Structure 1
Amino acid sequence: MSRRVLVTGGASGLGLALTELMLDRGDTVLVVDLAEDRPDAVPEGAAYRRLDVRSQQDWDAAMAWVRDTWGGLDLLVNNAGVATGGRIDVESMSDWERVVDINLLGVARGCHTFTPMFKAQKSGHIVNVASLAGLVHGPGMSSYNATKAGVVALSETLSFELAPWSIDVSVVCPAFFRTNLHHSFSGKDAAMQEAGVRLITQASVDAAHIAAIVLKGVDARKRVILTDRLGRQAYYSKRFVRPLYDRMLTAQAKRLARRAGADPAELTGD
């Protein structure tokens, strides 16, 4: 059955991969992204509008377009986000404000805008793209971890809150995969950005691989969609083998400190 779908950040990366797969299976897709003019990458079969997830006015305009053009929406994919990284004493508060506004409040605005439509329909599915960082909180990424954990918490809350209206909510928590996300890095902590770029660009899987797994999870109406073995291992080790998890992240933090030039003699902890 064809679905009416809106994908934020759908002109590149995971959003584009999801758009292509959904078009292949017969869905009707509206891609929204930051470019004023339709990007060449957006498939011909998809509609396009500009939308900045930080702008409630843009969200309201997109909702009006969906209502007037399609008469409703079946699937909202809150995918847009930026990469960030930085130690707490290095990353600026302005960088914190930027990533919170995009990665967390951008998702909240999408849910806030379309929930009345879904409630009126008594149907719909919200898919919020978080990250493994929303479940496993490594050092040097406090702002990113906090926003993605917020998306996980928001999604779990809404999965219960909206269930009486037959509205499903899924949160996607992938580990690193090859995409253009590293181009959105900004901030003062060069060491963390270098590490983040390396992890993204050298990942073993690409966005198309992740998108196929995500769609299977959406079709199965899973509340939490884990996309890879690394993610599952990290997630379950935190839940069931906490001492091992703590040792792994303590070692990771020490490596980060050494790369940043800390004196090994000053480092403490297990």
Structure 2
Amino acid sequence: MTSAPPGPRRALVTGGASGLGRALVAGMLERGARVLACDLAEERPADLPAGADYLTLDVRRQQDWDAALAWVREAWGGLDLLVNNAGIAAGGRIDVEAMADWERIVEVNLLGVARGCHTMTPLLKEQRSGHIVNVASLAGLVHAPAMSSYNATKAGVVALSETLGFELRPWGIDVSVVCPAFFRTNLHSSFAGKDTAMQEAGTKLITTASASAEDVAAVVLDGIEKRKPVILTDRVGRQAYFGKRFARPLYDRLMHGQAARLARRVGHDPEEYLP
């Protein structure tokens, strides 16, 4: 494992003005880091933790990423930690969700992460040190029905992270992927699209979750310190992940059952098709 260079850690966090991003920013500041929080707002958000710098960054825009690279070079002379956290929620049955919704979520959740890695990697290679942390989801590892677009983007982030973990290690660069289950955040506010039934179900799961963004951030920060390649943040996530790997028949039955319940909700009896 590589170690961070001496002095306060220099961290850039996308989606840093709300939800898990803001909780990570606050936690990093408490641990003595210098933090650049990036988000969509043109002006610094009023509730951004004191001590954090702020930069407008839309992860879909390469010119914004170029500006962020210039900022960290000029202000800090480098970067120790890149946290690709920005993302949106989406979900829907494959025959209901519009292709425009697919394009929107791929552009943010997958290509936004890829742009961040693409832009900052040359700087980290120059330094021969650094740590990239990509926030995916348990949905990147465990693929429930009626969430194909979201699952696909988060699985893509998992694959990207594993690939870069091998690819960048010779330069002393570590890569981690974060895979949290549902927790209380404002992610549901980004829902948009045609499958409103699935969005309502997703909103309920998010707003009634027992864990808070701060709870998840604390686990993530510990995982970052330990340079874990995969950071699972809760017991449910670990059970689902390892259940899929080591008890696949049980996992399949659970997913078939979930799909059957979904089908009944929309008036279709699936019994004759179940294994």
Match of 2:194 in 1: 188
Q: Which runs of 5+ in 2 are unaligned?
A: 1-6
1:225 aligns to what SS in structure 2?
strand
Match of 1:105 in 2: 111
Report the AA paired with residue 15 of structure 1: G
1:76 aligns to what SS in structure 2?
strand
Q: Is residue 217 of structure 2 the alignment partner of residue 215 of structure 1?
A: no
Q: Is residue 141 of structure 2 the alignment partner of residue 135 of structure 1?
A: yes
Report the AA paired with residue 274 of structure 2: G
Whole-angstrom distance in 2 between the partners of 1:267 and 1:92: 29
Q: Is residue 215 of structure 2 the alignment partner of residue 203 of structure 1?
A: no
1:126 aligns to what SS in structure 2?
strand
Match of 1:268 in 2: 273
Whole-angstrom distance in 2 between the partners of 1:236 and 1:65: 41
Match of 1:24 in 2: 30
Tell me if the contact between 1:170 and 1:225 (Cα under 8 Å) persists in the aligned partners: yes
Pairing 1:1-270 to 2, within 5 Å after superposition:
1-262=7-268, 264=269, 268-270=273-275
Report the alpha carbon displacement of residue 259 of structure 1 after superposing the two structures with TM: 1.2
Report the alpha carbon displacement of residue 191 of structure 1 after superposing the two structures with TM: 1.0
* Structure 1 runs of 4+ with >4 Å offset: none
What TM-score, normalized by structure 2, do the two folds share? 0.96
Report the AA paired with residue 209 of structure 1: D
Report the AA paired with residue 224 of structure 1: V
Report the AA paired with residue 196 of structure 2: A
What TM-score, normalized by structure 1, do the two folds share? 0.98
Report the alpha carbon displacement of residue 267 of structure 1 after superposing the two structures with TM: 5.3
Report the alpha carbon displacement of residue 56 of structure 1 after superposing the two structures with TM: 0.4
> What CA deviation, in whole Å up to 9, does each residue of 1:194-245 have, x standing for no partner?
1100000000010000000001101000000000010000001100100000
> What CA deviation, in whole Å up to 9, does each residue of 1:37-91 have, x standing for no partner?
1111211200001000000010001100110111000000000000000000000
CA RMSD of aligned residues (A): 0.9
Tell me if the contact between 2:13 and 2:83 (Cα under 8 Å) persists in the aligned partners: yes
Report the AA paired with residue 147 of structure 2: M
Match of 2:3 in 1: none
Q: Which runs of 5+ in 1 are unaligned?
A: none
Report the AA paired with residue 98 of structure 2: S
1:247 aligns to what SS in structure 2?
helix
Q: State the identity %.
A: 72
Report the alpha carbon displacement of residue 266 of structure 1 after superposing the two structures with TM: 6.8
> What CA deviation, in whole Å up to 9, does each residue of 1:231-269 have, x standing for no partner?
00000110010000000000000111111222x267512
Between 1:252-261 and 1:2-11, the stretch displaced more is 252-261
Whole-angstrom distance in 1 between the partners of 2:119 and 2:228: 23
Whole-angstrom distance in 2 between the partners of 1:92 and 1:241: 34
Report the AA paired with residue 241 of structure 1: A
Tell me if the contact between 1:77 and 1:126 (Cα under 8 Å) persists in the aligned partners: yes
Q: How many residue pairs are counted as aligned between the two chains?
A: 269
Report the AA paired with residue 31 of structure 2: R
Whole-angstrom distance in 1 between the partners of 2:139 and 2:243: 14
Report the alpha carbon displacement of residue 107 of structure 1 after superposing the two structures with TM: 0.1
Whole-angstrom distance in 2 between the partners of 1:26 and 1:147: 33
Whole-angstrom distance in 2 between the partners of 1:145 and 1:104: 11
